Amino acid sequence: MNRGVLPLLVAQFVTAFGDNAILFAAIGMVLQADDVAGWYIPALQSSFLIAYVVSAPWVGPIADRFSKSRVLLLGNLVKAVGTGLILWGIEPLFAYALVGLGAAIYSPAKYGILPELVPKERLVKANGWIEGSTILAIIVGAVVGGYLADYSVSGAFLMVLVLYLVSMLVTLLIPLLPAQGGTLKNALPNFTHIMRDFLDTPRARFAMLGGSLFWGASAVLRVLLVAWAPLVLGINSAGDISALALFIAIGIIIGSLVAPKLIPLEQLRRARIAAYVMGVTVLLFSLVNTPVFSLVDPVWDARIVLLLIGIAGGVFLVPINAALQDVGHDTIGSGRAVAIQNFFQNVAMLLTVGLYTFAAASDVSPVTTVVALGIFILLATVAVALHLPKGDVSPNRNK
């Protein structure tokens, strides 16, 4: 681990802590409010995602045009402003969208800087560290944000604001790397052209669609727990729901750490097996607190299955991120590759969360939605797996 990776890990941990604490602080704020419709929480998540989708043509060139360590600073600054607007009493749907814009700026620089800091043979391992630290931050941030919001919503948002400011300070320790030559001129048509060229490679298509599948499913599962836990387990507080969700995060940490051993870049096709396991475990989750599935008690049964879902997801996600960065670094620039990745993944999350919002507004049972989600993952994995040629693919052979 060189001197640039360590501050990146710390800065990413702190900002990811804030990203997840603010989500559960917002959930706690909604749960404590009177007469809030069931669709508001998924709509809140959608406002965050819309910012990602709309800004995608510009955030990639920004990440490559300027030193990525300075782009990380800008992303955290925008997140801090959005958090401050929530504290000021601005409509959360608007303020949380601004936090989403900051995250959209931050993400291409966060992932795009890795190929500039580490050699190719260590890229999967570096991604494992980044994903592991991010999920650890999700664990701590979700639990602390949820429980703190049960006692003081404003205190939770104030904590998030401080975290973003601390992350900005740590980011100053990352080396000031040279820019990669991105341009903002004709960003929208260039984005369309670059996206078409980038997806011309089988490995890029597989990784792009696979990442979209993972994040689309995980976004639904995260907001679905808010409705599922009270119905199936009788859990109602934001803190208790966030504590339940942390088992997914623990699982992703475990999966992220073992992924480099199980799926090196030259054997990317193996990742589809983890996706199939993820779909099966989601279906198993729908059986929690039923006579068909009983191990310990309903709460621990749910935790165990969520842990398994997370492990499969982590094993699936890490090599996919590494493959995208590898192809992007050798072709269009890693920052723009991550921006395209974010565009597809957030469109997928926006669509899946939108469908869930419609289902929630139509009073579809959360258990039924879990079953539908598991079936969707299995069918989508079959479709995604078609975008790799037969056999393993060398990292140096994109066609």
Tell me the pLDDT tens digit for each residue of 88-114.
888 888 888 999 899 889 887 887 787
| Residue 398: pLDDT over 50 | no
Return the closest-CA partner of residue 126 out of 340, 262, 321. Answer: 321
- Tell me the average pLDDT across 163-187: 80
Whole-number Å distance between alpha carbons of 133 and 125? 12
CB 28 within 8 A of CB 40: no
Residue of 214, 240, 211 lying closest to 225 (CA atoms): 240
Q: What is the pTM of this model?
A: 0.70
Q: What is the pLDDT of residue 73?
A: 92
pLDDT at 219: 82
Percentage of the chain beyond pLDDT 70 is 88
| pLDDT-based confidence at residue 393 (cuts at 50, 70, 90) | very low
Closest by alpha carbon to 306, among 216, 228, 230? Answer: 228
Q: CB of 381 within 8 A of CB of 275?
A: yes
Name the pLDDT band for 356 (thresholds 50, 70, 90): confident
- Mean pLDDT for 323-342 is 71
Return the pLDDT at 74: 93
Task: Mark 137-162 as b/e (b = at least 16 C-beta within 10 Å).
Answer: bbbbbbbbbbbbbbeebeebbbbbbe
Categorize the per-residue pLDDT at 211 as very low, low, confident or very high, splitting at 50, 70 and 90: confident
Q: Is the pLDDT score of 367 beyond 60?
A: yes
Q: Extract the tokens encoding 355.
A: 């469908």
Three-state SS at 278: helix
Per-residue pLDDT, 113: 80
CB 8 within 8 A of CB 76: no
Between CA 3 and CA 69 the distance in angstroms is 13
Does residue 361 register a pLDDT over 70?
Answer: yes
Total Cβ atoms within 10 A of residue 34: 4
**Amino acid letter for position 44:** L
Cα–Cα distance, 145 to 25 (Å, whole number): 5
The mean pLDDT value for 186-203 works out to 76
Mean pLDDT of 50-75: 83
The answer, yes or no, to whether residue 311 has pLDDT greater than 80, is yes
Instruction: With cut-offs at 50, 70 and 90, classify the pLDDT of residue 3.
Output: low
Distances (CA, A) of 325 to 60, 83, 331, 332: 13, 30, 10, 10
Crossing angle of the two packed helices 202-232 and 271-285, in degrees rounded to 10: 20
pLDDT at 183: 63
How many angstroms separate the Cα of 99 from the Cα of each of 82, 94, 194, 346? Answer: 5, 9, 27, 14
Does 312 score more than 60 pLDDT?
yes
Instruction: Work out the average pLDDT over 121-141.
Output: 75
The predicted structure's pLDDT at residue 395: 44
Q: Which amino acid is at 218?
A: S
The first and second tokens of residue 147, run together, are 């429980």
pLDDT > 90 fraction of the chain, expressed in percent and rounded: 15
Please, what is the angle between helix 5-32 and helix 68-87, to 10°?
20
- pLDDT for residue 130: 78
pLDDT at 75: 93
Give the pLDDT of residue 181.
64
- At 182, list the tokens: 């991105």
User: Is the pLDDT confidence value at 331 over 90?
Assistant: no
What pLDDT score was predicted for residue 250?
Answer: 84
Q: What is the mean pLDDT of the chain?
A: 81
Per-residue pLDDT, 396 = 45
How far apart are the C-alpha atoms of 315 and 267, rounded to whole Å? 13
- Report whether pLDDT(399) > 50: no
Cα gap 152→66, rounded to integer Å:
39
Give the mean pLDDT of 277-297: 85
In order of start, what are the domains of the chain with their CATH numbers?
5-173+187-385 (1.20.1250.20)
Beta bridge partners of 290: 293
pLDDT tops 60 at residue 177? yes
DSSP letters of 75-103? HHHHHHHHHHHHHTT--HHHHHHHHHHHH
Q: Identify the residue whose tokens are 């980044």.
A: 130
